[in-house]
Amino acid sequence: MSRFHFPVKEQPQHVLDLNLPPNMSCTLLRKRNIAIKEMPLPILQPDGVLVKVIATGICGSDMHNFLAGGVGGRPPAKNLVMGHESSGEVIAIGELVTTHKVGDRVAIEPGLPCRRCVNCKNGRVNICLEMKYCGAPGSVGSLARFHALPADMAPKIPDNVSWEEAGSIQPLAVGVQIGKRADIRPHQTIAIFGCGPIGLITAAVSHAYSASKIIAFDHNPERVAFAKKYISPLTGKPIIDHVFLTEPLPTTPPTGAAQLNGHAHGNGNGHAHANGDADGDGDSLSERIGENGSGAGIGDGEFPPDDDRHIPIGDHKWEWAKLRAGSYLKQAGMSGEDGVDRVIEATGAEDCMMMGIAMAKQGATYLAVGLSHQQSHWFPTLAVTNKEIDVRGITRYTSSCFPSALEMLSRGTVDLKSLITIAFPLSQSQQAFEAVASGKQMKVIIKNQEV
């Protein structure tokens, strides 16, 4: 871990006196292969707390290491201790700590910024140049019996929040940061790609912030079915207004006479999905939501049908994306609108990036949340320019997100309980990760003390 955070190398006597059991930890040996191994007990620092970890959530990001050898192809470190969504009970405090006491229930903020680099100094601690992040290569995860961290990174959990929910506070903190980065405000329309925990939590946060309409997309029918039943604790009704099951975008041109200008009918794959001009009024919705929607385009990439220059696959997909986006908006009762105010891409999939830009209205904000196993994708850059879309990225959460997440939970404006579908003991971590990989569970929790 960071040289700044763990300068003391000897365990204080009062921790040794606790005679703690071995620090069994979930370690990744190689791709899709986990072992529960004894790892050294982390050293309690003078400004830190030692936490007996009770519950840990697993998420899509953990799966990149587990399944694919790391985000963007980065290989996982040898014997990487996994996990970054944990909470537990304080069992010892450092000699300088006045804010915590033994027995406190706390969440574990998994990112330790150096607090010294230029980004930290600018307040952007989540993109710290020396960030140590639990479960990421070069760091120690929290999927272990015990975890030590600076006391100020261990916010206290309200009494009415269960341990299981507490294991999902970190993704809620990410949801809060998504709200900040996408600048989600009341009365906006929001499209969310991906109905995994992050997509649904984003929907819940948007709903708590009084979004006027939320639509969501996924290609997994089970995720779509689950999303339709995600109920608001505020209204008792589904949070998401319309959830759509998506299909891959074809890589060949849409069929029909005016192939690439948005007037195509049908979608060439036998499914009655997208129909750019379903109302037959010649003013196709897909045309309006396209990159030339306002007529303000400064070169919208269109070309005459007899042009024999090479057409990139991405351009074919883009035409399909516009058709599909138009159809989805129409089905969501948004025919009169040019698109949505905010797009949250939480799949990491190229097709969703395409459809997200197609669905964004002029001047909208598009937030790239999803991580992919690969670096580059087809992305409709001309449309981004012509529609003047703010394309933004997000890295995890910032300092105020955990307190906001905890407050939302304790006030009951966001419900995490119904997202948790199964729990495993630490000893069955391999099964827990496979359960996440199956796509059949929503939020999977591991009970760290059950070894």
> Which of 294, 292, 273, 276 lies closest to 284 in space, CA to CA?
276
Sheet containing 33-39, strands listed edge to edge, beginning at the edge strand earlier in sequence: 33-39, 23-30, 80-81
Residue 189 found at the interface with ligand NAD (CB under 6 A): no
Position among 76, 150, 197, 276 found at the interface with ligand NAD (CB under 6 A): 197
Which of 23-31, 161-169, 299-307, 389-397 is the region at the interface with ligand NAD (rule: CB under 6 A)?
A: 389-397
Longest dimension (CA), the chain: 82
Residue 199 found at the interface with ligand NAD (CB under 6 A): yes
- Non-local (6+) Cβ contacts of 205 within 8 A are 172, 175, 176, 178, 179, 184, 408, 414
Position among 57, 155, 276, 348 found at the interface with ligand NAD (CB under 6 A): 348
Q: Which residues bind Zn ion (CB under 5 A)?
A: 59, 61, 113-114, 117, 120, 128
**Least distance in angstroms from the C-beta of 376 to Zn ion:** 24
**Least distance in angstroms from the C-beta of 219 to ligand NAD:** 4
**Least distance in angstroms from the C-beta of 114 to ligand NAD:** 19
Residue 196 found at the interface with ligand NAD (CB under 6 A): yes
Residues 201-220 that bind ligand NAD (CB under 6 A): 217-220
Taking a C-beta distance cutoff of 8 angstroms, is the pair 55, 65 a contact?
A: no
113 binds, among ligand NAD, Zn ion, none (CB under 5 to 8 A by kind): Zn ion
Which of 73-81, 88-96, 261-269, 388-396 is the region at the interface with ligand NAD (rule: CB under 6 A)?
A: 388-396
Residue 351 found at the interface with ligand NAD (CB under 6 A): yes
Residue 396 found at the interface with ligand NAD (CB under 6 A): yes
**Least distance in angstroms from the C-beta of 161 to ligand NAD:** 20
State which residue, 109 or 218, has the beta carbon closest to ligand NAD.
Answer: 218
Residue 61 found at the interface with ligand NAD (CB under 6 A): yes
**Least distance in angstroms from the C-beta of 9 to ligand NAD:** 32
State which residue, 138 or 248, has the beta carbon closest to ligand NAD.
Answer: 248
Adjacent-strand bridge partners of 244? 217
Position among 125, 131, 394, 426 found at the interface with ligand NAD (CB under 6 A): 394
Which of 100-108, 329-337, 344-352, 420-428 is the region at the interface with ligand NAD (rule: CB under 6 A)?
A: 344-352
Residues that bind ligand NAD (CB under 6 A): 59-61, 174, 194-199, 217-220, 223, 246, 346-349, 351-352, 369-371, 394-396, 439
